[in-house]
Amino acid sequence: MKEIVSKTEPKDIKVDIDPWNDPAAYLMTGGTTGLPKAAMLSHANLLVNLYQQRDGVKLEAGMINIGSIPFFHSFGLTSVMNGSLFLGMVMLIFAKPPDDKLLCETVKKLEAPQQIIYAGVEMLFKRLIDFVEEMGVENFKKEYDLHEKLKFASQGAGPLHDYVRIPFEKVFCPIRPGYGLTETSPVVSASPFWGPNKFGKIGLPIPGTDLVIFDRENFELGPICDGTPELGNFGVEHTGEICVAGPQVMLGYKGEQEEQEDNIKYWNGK
């Protein structure tokens, strides 16, 4: 392959695009109403979100990223496929989520101590726990000992319960949850990989991201919580809605002007 590439003259292909305003991807999402809509993500949205993750969670070139979640979903697209290419990580790609034995056998063969990342959802973590319990914990450790291979698991696309997290971390590696939306390319917050892991939390806003709670019924009322003690006049019974500002926020919904106007708001210049 190297010989073929070396004999080929590269072509300087120039594509006239506006990185901030031209869509790079249309990702389907239930979003705000549950009905399918196409979130329009610009080239800049997707690229900026990679820089934000790199600076927020300290990923490095040479790590191995297990690609067992679909790349047509925003989590797999950004955190696995684009993230690996951007940072120079190795992608271990499966055509579909592998059965648990195949996954463990494959990881076992990799010579990469503490350099493997597993991006997954709660269901996949639970399947691995069930596999361990079927074998017996001690038998599993004797056969695979994946704790020495895995650095951490990143988790998103839903909640993470302790009945999954605790047994998984005992056998495999720490799980670092995050939070995101298809509309935000998708990462909004992530658990940093330094300091203690705060269970039941979704981490810190990634660099360049504002995460504020507004009144759910009256946006013009302004923020009811922005993480500072000054906005302490609203009780826990007050219903709020998380609002996100940052360069990773989508261009809008394709062909859904009314839905877009209802859900993309501007406050204080953002």
pLDDT digits (tens, 9 = 90+) for 147-198: 888 988 999 888 899 999 999 999 999 998 989 999 999 999 988 776 667 7
CATH of the domain at 155: 3.40.50.12780
Tokens of 114: 């503490």
In-domain check, residue 7:
no
Q: How many domains does the chain have?
A: 1
Look at residue 245 in the predicted model and tell me its pLDDT.
94
pTM of the model: 0.84
Residue 51: what are its φ and ψ, rounded to 5°? Answer: -60, -40
Look at residue 57 in the predicted model and tell me its pLDDT.
67
In-domain check, residue 242:
no
Parallel, antiparallel, or unpaired for β 187-190 and 204-205?
antiparallel
In-domain check, residue 88:
yes
Q: Does the structure show a pLDDT above 80 at 39?
A: yes
Q: Mean of the pLDDT values across residues 136-145?
A: 93
Residue 3 confidence class, pLDDT cut points 50, 70, 90: confident
Cis peptide before 196 (omega within 30 of 0): no
Q: What does DSSP assign to residue 131?
A: H
Please state, in angstroms and rounded to a whole number, the distance separating the CA atoms of residues 175 and 160: 9
Specify the range with the lowest mean pLDDT, choosing from 91-100, 103-112, 193-202: 193-202
Look at residue 231 in the predicted model and tell me its pLDDT.
54
DSSP letters spanning 159-217: ---HHHHHHHHHHS--EEEEEE-GGGSSEEEE--SSS---TT---EEPTT-EEEEEESS
Give the structural domain span for 118: 17-206
In-domain check, residue 219:
no
Question: Do 84 and 66 contact (CB within 8 A), yes or no?
Answer: no
pLDDT digits (tens, 9 = 90+) for 120-129: 999 999 999 9
Q: Which of 219, 220, 264 is nearest to 245 (CA)?
A: 264
Please state, in angstroms and rounded to a whole number, the distance separating the CA atoms of residues 72 and 63: 22
Tokens of 5: 């590439």
In-domain check, residue 262:
no
pLDDT digits (tens, 9 = 90+) for 204-238: 899 999 988 888 777 776 777 666 655 556 666 77
SS3 128: helix
DSSP E strand stretches across the chain:
23-29, 37-42, 64-67, 90-93, 116-120, 150-155, 175-180, 187-190, 204-205, 210-215, 223-225, 240-245, 252-253
In-domain check, residue 241:
no
Question: Which range, 58-62, 100-104, 253-257, 259-263, has the best average confidence (pLDDT)?
Answer: 100-104
Higher pLDDT, 61 or 164: 164
Mean pLDDT estimate for the chain: 87
In-domain check, residue 248:
no
Q: What percent of the chain has pLDDT over 70?
A: 91
In-domain check, residue 73:
yes
Look at residue 2 in the predicted model and tell me its pLDDT.
81
Report the sign of the C-alpha dihedral through residues 193, 194, 196, 198, in that order: negative
Q: Does the structure show a pLDDT above 60 at 97?
A: yes
Tokens of 4: 């073929």
Dihedral angle computed from the Cα positions of residues 175, 180, 182 and 186, in that order, rounded to the nearest 10 degrees: -80
